[in-house]
């Protein structure tokens, strides 16, 4: 019998989920809510999307929509930073914006995949991904080594059906 998740049973679950979606570091959440970092990590990987799908009440559904909306906002911000960094030629900033955007996208794909009944949601052909990809390629144009490495990493980190 697996032990109950200390995050799922936590009175602050809703706030924790929101913090996770906002990208608050697991360590900070763990210390703030007095749970283990491992529990937070496990909850984020395994329970957060399922929680959203299992939302039954109107209130829970509204919360799920709200989380999706937040991820979309974050994604728009990350893309904004990326294009500014691109204009300024700041490679480090661009790379960290790419990492942010990619994390958001993965979470978004996972949430949408869980919410959507259709069996396949291919991140690699989603409009968001194609847009991000185009921005990345453009941003890294002057840095061919970095560009090659980033693209390779992005491709190998897809959902494996490329």
Residue 124 touches Zn ion, criterion: CB under 5 A: no
Tokens of 91: 């490679």
17: three-class secondary structure by DSSP: helix
Residue 35 touches Zn ion, criterion: CB under 5 A: no
**String of contacts with Zn ion for each residue 37-76, x by CB under 5 A:** ------x---x-----------------------------
Tokens of 82: 């990326």
Asked if 51 contacts 42 with a C-beta cutoff of 8 angstroms, the reply is no
Total binding residues toward Zn ion, as defined by CB under 5 A? 5
Closest to Zn ion by CB, 9 vs 57, is 9
What's the rounded Cα separation, in Å, for the pair 44 and 83? 29
CB atoms within 10 A of CB 74: 19
Closest to Zn ion by CB, 63 vs 83, is 63
Closest to Zn ion by CB, 51 vs 102, is 51
Residue 30 touches Zn ion, criterion: CB under 5 A: no
Residue 108 touches Zn ion, criterion: CB under 5 A: no
CA nearest neighbour of 76 among 132, 154, 147: 132
Report the interface residues with Zn ion, using CB under 5 A.
5, 7-8, 43, 47
């Amino acid at each position: 019998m697996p032990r109950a998740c200390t995050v799922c049973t936590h009175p602050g679950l809703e706030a924790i989920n929101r913090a996770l979606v906002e990208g608050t570091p697991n360590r900070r959440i763990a210390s703030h809510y007095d749970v283990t970092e491992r529990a937070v990590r496990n909850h984020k990987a395994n329970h957060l999307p399922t929680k959203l799908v299992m939302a039954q009440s109107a209130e829970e559904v509204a919360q799920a929509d709200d989380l999706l909306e937040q991820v979309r906002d974050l994604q728009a911000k990350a893309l904004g930073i990326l294009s500014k960094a691109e204009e300024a030629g700041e490679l480090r900033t661009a790379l960290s914006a790419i990492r942010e955007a990619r994390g958001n996208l993965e979470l978004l794909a996972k949430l949408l995949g869980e919410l959507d009944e259709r069996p396949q949601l291919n991140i690699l052909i989603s409009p968001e991904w194609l847009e991000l990809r185009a921005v990345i390629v453009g941003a890294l144009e002057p840095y061919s080594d970095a560009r090659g490495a980033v693209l390779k990493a992005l491709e190998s980190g897809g959902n494996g059906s490329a």
